[in-house]
Structure 1
């Protein structure tokens, strides 16, 4: 759709800082780019129907993108909106074509180039407000054209609330972000595809202090591109940017600075604006989120590839059929990931479209992709440094690199087959020479045969005539005998069939048949006798003739000449067929040739002649094919892997990315998805989950509303508290969309998985009773005792220790939280014990300072990787599982103060990570005497459950046992 915009006043364009230098470098690698600003203005002026324009969203600001026939120009309005800065120009890409196909403005006005901003007339106007207004109208027209429902008042109010929250989060982040110094560099070198000037990974040779691994940085002065440090080695920081950067654009000396987090807020704002403009793939998302209206879910009978329990099967089928939003509640160990992979597998076999699998963290996305069936074409979009090694195989860059290598190797093999063509051409020419020799020898043989026949007739006289006459008689008798034999065979065959069909054939018919057979047999015998006699007579006459002709010199000379010609002809035939055999062998890799089947000389010679002529045309085609393969191999071997990304994305069944990554990666940001599956959706803030949800026609939210909620910073919540809509904004900050929809959607749109297959029964029953209202079923085999504990659920009570030793301590300095050294000593020994036992273990504590203390202690017996992977706070282990989980409560005080431990969902997360054993360490006196009633009741229930089904041990008992075991 097009919307014409007629502007009466001219639009002034001013080249931005460094625009001309960047353009000069770009022109070296791309054809069709303008020489400068004057060139751009001339190209804009030749568009008779107006200039195609779209409004774009860039980090920190909105801008206007103009399209000529060959390139795009990016503009940014000046602060006073009296002119546009020209910031960049680049080739017209496929994504640009796709956006123009969807809809654009046709701007008709007079464009003027101005050398400096100070030379812009004082009364000039960029008409930016007009362009924005017309762009908004275009978006509404497009939505009406697609029959997207108009916004209801409650929708607008909700979007306004989201906008307010996003702006508070943005301004708070900008205000509280520390101003950190940059990192000077002296040289830049591209990393990855050699020989290319456009890549997204570069090595910056740092002078002095270097950035840390995983840090997000950007080049000073360039706010549009953000990168992440992959590694720092030998003074060089390898940085992978969000999008490819032209090497020519990078200053060889400069500074890397910590990246602003503006991109997150930009994508949040874009999602809200897309909903406001009704430009989303999910047409009814606001009806679901705000009005809680959903369409009925059709019944389907699809079958999964793996066996599912009844609730999993219901979730699977509803996910395939839902038209708007489905919520799947999956308590720990109930098989949420299996449902997701089965849905992806089923949709991958259909033609309904792509699936986007997303979550708040890279780890959550990778947990799902790691279990995806390999027959499902899966791509992971993100930075390699953030992606789990188990799913590196499906990284877009890895896929593209392997595909390029595979295609290059395959094309090289194909091209190598055609290396035989020069040899084949030589043998083709040789075959032609030998065919001409054979044809000449045949002609000579025929001439000699005619001369020999003339000489024999002249010298033979009556004897020759006699032989000729007898030869004709033998041929006639042979023909007659064969004819009689065929008649006899047919009659005997018919007689046999008649006996089979009519057993009671009359005697008359039988006698007539037998008489005819006997007559033919007599006639055949007579013919055979006459033929035998004629052959004997011919043989005698021929011998007599040959004896006479041997005395005639003229005949003998003709005979010798004929024999020589026949020998030469045979030799020519043999050599021709040998050449054909060699040519067939040489051409076999690219063009199989037929074998000679006819033994007749004349037929073979003609077939060979036709084949030779036909190969002239075939060789022209083969040479063209060889040239094309060489060019294809050269192109594939030298093309940047990024050129393969669009094709890989096009054919993918599943694409995995974080919520923010689904919008920041340009290669998938414009993709249309049939289904968006958001895993661990209970942890995702509404503003973040909307970013991927608007990109799919349907959505499935998978998670657990009884585990960790979204995390909101104290600074944001303090800023919210001063707002007029503080209560609604705080709920938006703390409550996930999944948690909201669970309580308002129809029962048919919410499926709860109920059979857990992770935790031992003694753990699962407690979790079910106190977190899931007794709805969980268990299907787990019993676990064995270990050297320390008999029960899979054990509590080590530190209350037996002296108060001064077991008490918590407040963290010193700027750090917040609590330390407990007595607990830390025991937790460290327990972790070391299970490490030496070969178990998969996790050590979880509520406070970061306690975690850091434990990590420092564990480095005495484990490596850094083991420590980082197995010791952490609750948030680090959401979605994971281990054989043994060790949890330390940390809090121990006489007042029953427990801090944020009163968020029972955090305990739920910690308890439900265990597959075989859960070991709790804490001061039971403090815990049972907690000031928070909900926590106190839970601890009383835990104490009773331990006494009835688990194991209560003292600190001294376990320390003694560990010492006995040598741990």
Structure 2
């Protein structure tokens, strides 16, 4: 890059209108915070890189640049936001500021031992010892690991193994690099299993946020499909369920009305039959009087026989009544045939009376007025029964419609049971209709293409892959990760690498060292504190201060 002049005094004048003289780190921020000079140098490095056009401000977005041009200056603002978080201590790793500014690494903990590191994919089968050591240290270091990977050292495969092992033990991992091609090289080799979201993949290709959001929407709609189908009959004005409820209440009202008509027709039939019996029963009444005469004659004959028998018994038991006993026997012999005749006459008269009564019943039944009244009562009773059957069919249909969406109440197939069931459904119908409407509206909103899911997908994905600046996009929200792997950290400056570093509890910097400076400052008047940040990569800066436990070098050909 050709050298250019950097007017840093302009920014100084904007911040401190009362200040003068040369540019220095102390002129930007007073010493109110620990390591403030380092944070101020980072601010100056961002400004200098922007002036030198060393860091592009047009970072990749979730769409193609032709569709959605990124606002100019966004990359610079993302880096400044990361510096603000670093200065305020609002980083996922509380010791990040001391680590970057002073090289103060946390004491190493015991290496993570787990059989998960032995389960390798065909592409990473039988890793070399240095690669296995790199995986163990990446999972064990409490803050940061420098992974030196010269050309031909299987850096990508090692990063894949680190990401897989961390994801398998439940950690959220961020894969990042200065460019999308390097990120894609790692993502393409990840084994199936963890949920991987490519945060800045253009369009809706596989692994992109748009594709992940579409798949999530599809799963949500599929899981709610059964409930939507079950509640669909309760939706509408009027809804099918409401139609069956109206049929039920209408049938019950008809059954009640027909039952009243049947009762009235029955009373009318009884009255007409009584009148016909009165009109046609003259001979029966006359014969009834004959029966009464025969019954009285039979009663008198029986009483005479009983009295004569008692008197005869007394006379035979008396010494002075023997002469009287003969006379009583004579009278008893005469009364016995008369009583027998009275009994036979009564039986015959009663039989004739029963015949007269049967003929009268038939005559009453055959009477035209009585038959018409009986037909009206029968028709009303049949209509009431049919209405009750219709109500029962509607109740069965409503019971099926409530299956899966509400508790099914027990009911009986009589007027009282069906009336109680109709009242229960009437109270439940507004609730189910409202629930069905809410579910339909929610499903319609869930089916629309929307970016509202993007932030949540990034927040809960197992692995997120994006460029260093892409992870800081405002629409991605405030993301945090358990582990960030910065691939090709040997050509990534600290201001750019700071964007993912402030969002992770642990970090792995993978890359090679000894390259040319990141860019040529030329004759630009840049302070010494800033020159080191612009000349050297984040891997080179931290490698010289990293203890042995925080460094791993891969062998070429491993």
TM-score of the superposed pair, with normalisation by structure 1: 0.38
The answer on 1:323 being equivalent to 2:135 is no
Distance in 1 between residues matched to 2:202 and 2:461, nearest whole Å: 19
The answer on 1:736 being equivalent to 2:546 is no
Q: CA deviation at 1:666?
A: 0.8
Equivalent residues of 1:230, 1:240 under 8 A apart: yes
Question: 2:239 maps to what in 1?
Answer: 422
Q: CA deviation at 1:747?
A: 3.5
Equivalent residues of 1:584, 1:592 under 8 A apart: no
Distance in 1 between residues matched to 2:148 and 2:357, nearest whole Å: 114
Q: CA deviation at 1:285?
A: 2.0
Equivalent residues of 1:168, 1:719 under 8 A apart: no
Equivalent residues of 2:159, 2:186 under 8 A apart: yes
Q: CA deviation at 1:656?
A: 2.1
Distance in 1 between residues matched to 2:379 and 2:537, nearest whole Å: 102
Distance in 1 between residues matched to 2:356 and 2:98, nearest whole Å: 116
The answer on 1:673 being equivalent to 2:481 is yes
- Quick one: which of 434, 448, 462 aligns to 2:251? 434
Q: CA deviation at 1:296?
A: 2.5
Question: 2:497 maps to what in 1?
Answer: 689
Alpha-carbon displacement from aligned partner over 1:340-389 (angstroms, at most 9, x marks no partner): 33145235x46xxx43221111112222333446653433232617xxx8
The answer on 1:572 being equivalent to 2:387 is yes
Find the residue that maps to 1:700 and give its secondary structure: strand
Equivalent residues of 2:176, 2:486 under 8 A apart: yes
Paired residues, number: 441
The structure-2 alpha-carbon separation of the partners of 1:429 and 1:318, relative to structure 1 and needing over 3 Å to count, comes to same
Indicate the RMSD between aligned Cα atoms, in angstroms: 5.1
The answer on 1:376 being equivalent to 2:174 is no
Find the residue that maps to 1:326 and give its secondary structure: strand
Distance in 1 between residues matched to 2:404 and 2:442, nearest whole Å: 17
The structure-2 alpha-carbon separation of the partners of 1:301 and 1:80, relative to structure 1 and needing over 3 Å to count, comes to closer
- Quick one: which of 452, 463, 480 aligns to 1:654? 463
Distance in 1 between residues matched to 2:241 and 2:356, nearest whole Å: 52
Pairs within 5 Å for 1:179-198: none
- Per residue, is there more strand in 1 or in 2? 1
Find the residue that maps to 1:288 and give its secondary structure: helix
Question: 1:642 maps to what in 2?
Answer: 451
Find the residue that maps to 1:579 and give its secondary structure: helix
Equivalent residues of 1:662, 1:692 under 8 A apart: yes
Pairs within 5 Å for 1:385-396: 392-396=205-209
Equivalent residues of 2:108, 2:140 under 8 A apart: no
Equivalent residues of 1:710, 1:736 under 8 A apart: no
Distance in 2 between residues matched to 1:709 and 1:549, nearest whole Å: 128
Question: 1:712 maps to what in 2?
Answer: 518
Pairs within 5 Å for 1:394-413: 394-400=207-213
Equivalent residues of 1:271, 1:694 under 8 A apart: yes
Find the residue that maps to 2:518 and give its secondary structure: coil
The answer on 1:749 being equivalent to 2:553 is no
The structure-2 alpha-carbon separation of the partners of 1:314 and 1:426, relative to structure 1 and needing over 3 Å to count, comes to same
Q: CA deviation at 1:313?
A: 5.5
Q: Which stretches in structure 2 are left out of the alignment for 5+ residues?
A: 1-8, 19-27, 121-126, 282-353
Distance in 2 between residues matched to 1:559 and 1:298, nearest whole Å: 100
The structure-2 alpha-carbon separation of the partners of 1:322 and 1:419, relative to structure 1 and needing over 3 Å to count, comes to farther
Question: 2:179 maps to what in 1?
Answer: 361
The answer on 1:242 being equivalent to 2:66 is no
The answer on 1:619 being equivalent to 2:448 is no
Distance in 1 between residues matched to 2:250 and 2:76, nearest whole Å: 79
The answer on 1:284 being equivalent to 2:112 is no
Alpha-carbon displacement from aligned partner over 1:859-897 (angstroms, at most 9, x marks no partner): xxxxxxxxxxxxxxxxxxxxxxxxxxxxxxxxxxxxxxx
Name the larger-Rg structure. 2
Distance in 1 between residues matched to 2:407 and 2:237, nearest whole Å: 15
Find the residue that maps to 2:116 and give its secondary structure: coil
Q: CA deviation at 1:307?
A: 0.8
The structure-2 alpha-carbon separation of the partners of 1:633 and 1:597, relative to structure 1 and needing over 3 Å to count, comes to closer
Alpha-carbon displacement from aligned partner over 1:646-683 (angstroms, at most 9, x marks no partner): 333343333322112223x1123633333322123233
Pairs within 5 Å for 1:374-523: 376-382=194-200, 384=202, 392-400=205-213, 418-419=235-236, 421-441=238-258
Equivalent residues of 2:155, 2:511 under 8 A apart: no
The answer on 1:295 being equivalent to 2:107 is yes
Find the residue that maps to 2:512 and give its secondary structure: coil
Distance in 1 between residues matched to 2:46 and 2:377, nearest whole Å: 105
Q: CA deviation at 1:613?
A: 0.9
The structure-2 alpha-carbon separation of the partners of 1:673 and 1:436, relative to structure 1 and needing over 3 Å to count, comes to same
Distance in 2 between residues matched to 1:321 and 1:426, nearest whole Å: 66
TM-score of the superposed pair, with normalisation by structure 2: 0.61
Find the residue that maps to 2:239 and give its secondary structure: helix
Alpha-carbon displacement from aligned partner over 1:62-112 (angstroms, at most 9, x marks no partner): 9xxxxxxxxxxxxxx89969xxxxxxxxxxxxxxxxxxxxxxxxxxxxxxx
Equivalent residues of 1:379, 1:649 under 8 A apart: yes
Equivalent residues of 1:226, 1:241 under 8 A apart: no
Pairs within 5 Å for 1:507-546: none
Equivalent residues of 2:82, 2:502 under 8 A apart: yes
Find the residue that maps to 1:335 and give its secondary structure: helix
Q: CA deviation at 1:615?
A: 1.5
Alpha-carbon displacement from aligned partner over 1:165-184 (angstroms, at most 9, x marks no partner): 5555444449xx9xxxxxxx
Distance in 2 between residues matched to 1:403 and 1:550, nearest whole Å: 86
Question: 1:608 maps to what in 2?
Answer: 418
Distance in 2 between residues matched to 1:367 and 1:227, nearest whole Å: 19
Q: CA deviation at 1:434?
A: 1.0
The structure-2 alpha-carbon separation of the partners of 1:595 and 1:404, relative to structure 1 and needing over 3 Å to count, comes to closer
Pairs within 5 Å for 1:57-96: none
Equivalent residues of 1:267, 1:691 under 8 A apart: yes
Equivalent residues of 1:360, 1:684 under 8 A apart: yes
Find the residue that maps to 2:68 and give its secondary structure: strand
Equivalent residues of 1:315, 1:339 under 8 A apart: no
Question: 2:160 maps to what in 1?
Answer: 338
Equivalent residues of 1:345, 1:373 under 8 A apart: no
Q: CA deviation at 1:689?
A: 1.7
Distance in 2 between residues matched to 1:159 and 1:597, nearest whole Å: 76
Q: CA deviation at 1:693?
A: 0.8
Equivalent residues of 2:486, 2:508 under 8 A apart: yes
Give the number of the structure with larger relative contact order, counting CA–CA contacts within 8 Å between residues 6 or more apart.
Answer: 2
Alpha-carbon displacement from aligned partner over 1:266-294 (angstroms, at most 9, x marks no partner): 55455445434444332212433433432
Question: 2:298 maps to what in 1?
Answer: none
Equivalent residues of 1:676, 1:696 under 8 A apart: yes
Pairs within 5 Å for 1:887-898: none
Q: CA deviation at 1:571?
A: 2.2
